[in-house]
Structure 1
């Protein structure tokens, strides 16, 4: 007996993949006063860390605290901007702050 049809199982897998997907970003290096720029690295922001892949020095990967912490680190050697490739995820009910549910707030 099958638990799922092919379509149901594919839908379940797609939902799981989207819910856990990292948010992609690029670290762009700016030269001069916006005279030139380039993509220095690409990365993925997970809930608790970011993975950054640089293409210089032999395609190195770094694990960082966040995309912003990676930008700050490389900003020591030049001017970098963080460019998000994927939009920010929509907030879910789990993301709401319980303090926002204060019943006395409207009283």
Structure 2
């Protein structure tokens, strides 16, 4: 009886390549949706990503970017109340869209999609490489300028639209 349960004694039912393809399809079908909880200061004055989350079929997991808060919730929208602050900071849920990314920073190197004036990257069509300029300081009236945690000082400021 014990020998029948030992998977080492059972022959593979497909090739390694077929099994890898099955695993890729399984992961693609079962992957959770990624979202961010974004805090908005005023009416489009300033913003920051406050937390990241994964939405599964029956629940959502949320982790604050500063690592101080983790939540297991029934729905992603249930996380928003934890990130509203007073009457000036409201939270909104933003679903991650991979095609919306325009650049990726890797240390002192920045990869930019859709740039024509930078060095093209072989093997990555549509992407170019350049150096990362110094991070701009937020304007003095910015909400981020008034925040004093290490995380916000390291976080890249996003100018208003």
Query: What is the aligned length?
Result: 85
- SS in structure 1 of the partner of residue 62 of structure 2: strand
**Distance in 1 of aligned mates of 2:43 and 2:29:** 39
Instruction: Give the TM-score normalised by the residue count of structure 2.
Output: 0.48
**Distance in 2 of aligned mates of 1:86 and 1:65:** 22
Runs of 4+, deviation exceeding 3 Å: none
Q: Which structure 2 residue ranges, 5 or more long, are not aligned? A: 1-10, 99-161
Based on CA coordinates, which of the two structures has the bigger radius of gyration?
2
Q: Which structure 1 residue ranges, 5 or more long, are not aligned? A: 88-107
**Distance in 1 of aligned mates of 2:49 and 2:84:** 17
**Distance in 2 of aligned mates of 1:23 and 1:17:** 12
Instruction: Give the TM-score normalised by the residue count of structure 1.
Output: 0.71
1:13 aligned onto 2:23: yes
Contact 1:23/1:86 (CA < 8 Å) preserved in 2?
no
Query: Deviations for 1:26-52, whole angstroms, at most 9, x for unmatched residues?
Result: 000000121000000000000110000
